[in-house]
Structure 1
Amino acid sequence: MNLLPRSAPSDQLIDASGLIAFLDRVCEQGIELHSIMVVRHGHVVAEGWWAPFTADRPHLLYSMSKSFTSIAVGFAVADGLVGLTDRVVDLLPDHVPDDVAPQVSELTVHHLLSMTTGHTEDVLEDAWALEPLDLVRGFLRIPPARPAGTVHAYNNPTTYVLARIVEHVTGRPLPEVLNERLFRQMGIGPSEWDRDTTGHAFGFHGLHLTTEAAAAFGELLLRRGQWNGHQVVPRGWLDLATRRHIPTLQFEDGTRAPDWLQGYGYQFWMSRHGYRADGAMGQFCLVVPEADVVVAMTAATTSMQSPLDAVWECLLPALDQPGQVDADAEVRSRLSALALPRIAGEHRPDRAVEAVVDHLDQAPPLARGTRVEATPDAHGWRVRIGDGATAFQFQVGHDTWRESTPLRRPVVAAGAWLGEVLIVDLYVITSPSRVRLTIAGTSASAEWNMPPLVGPELRHQLL
């Protein structure tokens, strides 16, 4: 069942040639999008998934998750369970180190939400190194270099601490709060979150949602918390969360992109147009109130500014322009045929191979010495990785994508022989990440398109 109604672009005053220009730009620049959904006046006017990604598949949102944690904090504030000026050390006393620094003692919920704790960089790795089983305590052990409230630094532990505050004051896990108060009210099924070793949802990352669920979230924000006539999220909270609380500054080397220089709200980024929730590798929910537009995207790109530029420069100029039925039809055709490239080559159904990984890149999915076996079958190959209890097996298609579940998470794979080399592309299909496995004789190598942020080991991504 759709969360949002559908409409032709021209019926919502969009010239579909702008959507076509967007698709052309993405293709020309080699931006690997996995999905796109454009909503105007509350109607989906364009939607597409690059095969093997599909509409019904939840996708890892990375730091877009932070904006949902902000909504959970908003519920707790509205219920009178926590205040913006409440101190962290008072809210989570069991996590406070004995030698907590005075400047840490002054940190408030507002400072966490706006990432203005006075730290000048992300302290996630340092905090976890200090306290592997208590990230809150690890964070509270790191004194900030600047006074709280004076400088913004993108800082993942702030959101983790917010998630733990929500759980402490409500007595319920973060996913449970959001499932009941947000997702169920919108008709979205139970959400899936990645968790840390203690079983807690990360809060700052790890939420998986479909593209339409992300777009519906944007539409809820655009309607200032209303959904089907009901005030699901307090309007006052959204007014606070989606406005600028602190400037975001240029990096010393001048490399920070324009849309990261517009300021920061409460776990939302301000944009050159509207505001957004965003996550690593190109996960976006763009909200442009002045244009009554929401754009949701999932992707695997190293240039997060590029898809935003394509929206601003191709889509926005097409708004409130005369539409053409022929252009509407063309964009529908283009969107229905989207696909990521497959390896084009031979099947060789009589050739099995055994190899050992002996080449490693900087973030290897497989350890040196890992055994790899590829056995042909009628539809492609069965590939086995490893030995003994830790081994796993997945299916690979030839001239088609083939899905299997080697451990807990599904994967989709395709491959082919190119000369004397067997190449397999394996998508961890609920995430942006892909492994390319190359087998030449008895030698194998594996590399990520973009290494997962939680660590490079392939097996870990499948659990």
Structure 2
Amino acid sequence: MASQGLLLPRLTPAASGISSRSIAALLDRLEARSVECHSLMVVHHGHVVAEGWWAPYSAERPHLLYSLTKSFTSVAVGLAIADGLLSLDDRVVRVLPDHVPTGISEHGSRITVHHLLSMTVGYPTDSLAEAWELEPDDLVKGFLGLSFAEAEGTRHTYDNSTTFILARMVERVTGRGLAEFLDERLFNPMGVDHAEWDRVKSGAVFGFHGLHLTTEAVAAFGELLLRGGVWGARQLVPREWVELATRRQINCAPDEEGGNNADFSCGYGYQFWMSRHGYHGHGSFGQQCVVVPSHDLVVAVTAQGESQEVFDALWECLLPAVNHAGNARDDEILAHRLRRLSLSPVPGSAGPAHSVGATLDASAEGSALPDGTGVIVDPADGGWTVRFESHLDVEVGHGHWRESSPLGRPVAAAGAWQGHTFVADLYVVTTPHRVRLVADAETGTASATWSTVPLTGPSLELHVRSPLMTRPDVA
């Protein structure tokens, strides 16, 4: 993958006024809580002061952001409003009249851009599954045809459909696809040339999910917000929109301070969450863009874990050390540690020097491939080629990560023999997810299960194709 120039300047933690020991303590805390981080970037006073990627993840590779995508769609809405093409009071039925169902309720006809942005449409749960079931070929029409239970604008309920509709509204009024619109108005001016998108079967981007960006691009987005929409000498996003989108528009369900999901109980803006300190864009499994204006701080994280664990670590380990500079020796120790970050390859031996076959049993929850799939483990130089017959081949390293792109998107894998069993971890490294393959040479059986099942479904084939295309069925 071609690399691009740096988006943000670098500075040592000590020179920026942050103790390297606090960042090391943050890493220790995340490891102690078994949070599987894939990347971390800390930006203070506009400079990257710490950055690290856990191999096989790497700096130049875009990573699936899940619902952090929503915050970028919010910016697109703000740009369309600034252009005079849309307003907060515009109703869905006016902007998308060809998606209005027959017999729409008065409630459905009143839903506005404001209600969609703040997720206060009045439906009691995430409406995505119900709306899709009601209208399999038109999610907007299915949404508008729902029976809404509560008055619009009164209660926040997290709802993916709202952002999907916002994306379609932006596209209608601008005459551009959401991806192309954001490329022109946001990503290209920032120097981000690697935005990738998953898409629904029609070819449109999800809007509420599916954006892939590098960690530095996520951090740069946070820095753009922190500076009120200014990038370099250009006002890319109106300051008024940044301030509006990133402040509380509606309360969320209360939670005890420091308790479970405390940083998701502080209120919701326009596709941004309020935090105990500042605000954040959030994606499932720990994709975060955290902005703390009071400390002139941005933290970008990609991971496979629980987001609240990350927040607790940030507030307890990192935040108290801001504006308490360390020293050059501590900086060197931290930099050395960050350069050596890695997820652990499967331990074990190189095993037999001949091919081993097995048949996949898909009865385990989270199986990544169909039942009965033939699995062949072929020795190769420094590792193996694993053939999932009639589906795909994956290269696997022994003691190191070996990368292949069997259907377009990269898979980084490492494995080993543990007795008569071959074990390998297959990381779909443009996502948070991995598949654990276990093949028993004695019984001739195998399993291939996700560590965490992707929200777009369990098919491994689907997630290694580029671009991923599916119906909008994210849970």
Whether TM exceeds 0.5 here: the answer is: yes
Among 68, 71, 80, which residue is 2:72 paired with? 68
Q: Does 1:247 align with 2:251?
A: yes
For residues 346-394 of structure 1, give each alpha carbon's deviation from its aligned partner in whole angstroms, at most 9, with x where no partner exists.
112513111111242222211211111110011211111133xxx2111
Query: Which digits, 9 at most, give the CA deviation of each residue in 1:115-160, with x for residues without a partner?
Result: 0001121011111112222111111111221000000000000000
Partner secondary structure for residue 358 of structure 2: strand
- For 2:276 and 2:184, locate their aligned partners in 1 and report how far apart those are by CA, in whole Å: 33
- Give yes or no for the alignment of 1:408 onto 2:408: yes
Matched, 1:460 2:465: no
Matched, 1:8 2:8: no
> What's 2:469 paired with?
none
- How far apart, in 1, do the equivalents of 2:396 and 2:267 lie? 45
Q: Which residue identity does 2:421 align to in structure 1?
A: V
Deviates more, 1:351-360 or 1:401-410: 351-360
Unaligned runs of 5+ in 2: 466-475
Cα distance change on mapping 1:327 and 1:21 into 2, 3 Å: same
**Aligned residue for 1:336?**
339
Whether 1:83 aligns to 2:87 is: yes
TM normalised by structure 2 equals 0.95
Residue pair 2:13, 2:19 contacting (<8 A) in 1 also: yes
Matched, 1:231 2:231: no
Counterpart position of 1:104: 108
Match of 1:397 in 2: 397
Q: Does the 8 Å CA contact 1:414/1:424 hold for their aligned counterparts? A: yes
**Pairing 1:346–2:341 present:** no
Q: What is the aligned partner in structure 2 of residue 138 from structure 1? A: 142
Q: Distance in 2 between the 1:191 and 1:132 partners? A: 28
SS where residue 267 of structure 2 aligns? Answer: coil
Contact kept, 8 Å, 1:49 with 1:55, in 2: the verdict is yes
- Equivalent-residue separation in structure 2 for 1:126 and 1:359 (angstroms): 28
Query: Please, which of 290, 295, 305 is the counterpart of residue 291 of structure 1?
Result: 295
* Corresponding residue for residue 191 of structure 1: 195
* Segments ≥4 residues shifted beyond 3 Å: none
Secondary structure of 1:344 counterpart: coil
How far residue 421 of structure 1 moved from its aligned partner, in angstroms, is 0.5
Q: How far does the alpha carbon of each residue in 1:50-109 deviate from its partner, in whole angstroms, 9 at most, with x for none?
A: 000000000000000000000000010000001100111111000010111111111000
Conserved 8 A contact 2:38-2:303: yes
> Does the CA contact (< 8 Å) of 1:274 and 1:286 recur in 2?
yes
Distance 2:96 2:361 in 1: 48
Find 1:323's aligned residue among 321, 326, 329.
Answer: 326
Q: In the alignment, does 2:447 pair up with 1:445? A: yes
Identity within the alignment, %: 53
The alpha carbon displacement at 1:325 in A equals 1.3
Give the TM-score, by structure 1 length: 0.97
Offset from partner CA, 1:399-444 (integer Å, 9 cap, x none): 1100001001111000000011000100001000000000012100
CA contact (8 A) 2:437 2:447 kept: yes
Distance 2:262 2:302 in 1: 20
Partners of 1:115 and 1:256 in 2: CA distance: 22
Mapped partners of 1:250, 1:457: distance in 2: 37
1:312 alignment counterpart: 315
Residues of 2 paired with 1:190 and 1:350: CA distance? 41
How many residue pairs were aligned? 458
3-state DSSP of counterpart to 1:374: strand
One-letter amino acid of the counterpart of residue 26, structure 1:
L
Partner of 2:370: 367
**Residue type at the aligned position of 1:111:** H
- Give the 5 Å matches for 1:32-43: 32-43=36-47
Residue 141 of structure 1 aligns to which amino acid in structure 2?
G
Please say if residues 60 and 208 of structure 1, whose CA atoms lie closer than 8 Å, have aligned partners that are also in contact: yes
CA contact (8 A) 1:246 1:265 kept: yes
Using a 3 Å threshold, how does the CA distance of structure 1 residues 319 and 256 change in structure 2: closer, same or farther?
closer
CA distance in 2, matches of 1:346, 1:296: 37
Secondary structure of the structure 1 residue equivalent to 2:116: helix
**Structure 1 residue 190: Cα displacement:** 4.4
1:415 alignment partner AA: G
Amino acid at match of 1:397: G
1:355 to 347, 358, 363: 358
CA contact (8 A) 1:123 1:156 kept: yes
Partner AA of 2:329 in structure 1:
D
Q: Per-residue CA shift, 1:207-252, capped at 9, x if unaligned?
A: 000000000000000000000011010111111100000000148x
Deviation at 1:256, TM superposition (A): 5.3
Letter in structure 2 aligned against 1:165: M
CA contact (8 A) 2:37 2:304 kept: yes
How many Å separate the matches in 2 of 1:409 and 1:339?
21
SS across alignment from 2:80: helix
Instruction: Determine if the alignment matches structure 1 residue 381 to structure 2 residue 387.
Output: no
Looking at structure 1, the residues matched to 243 and 322 of structure 2 have their Cα atoms a distance apart, in angstroms, of 25
What pairs up with 1:94-243 in 2 under 5 angstroms?
94-243=98-247
Counterpart secondary structure, 1:339: coil
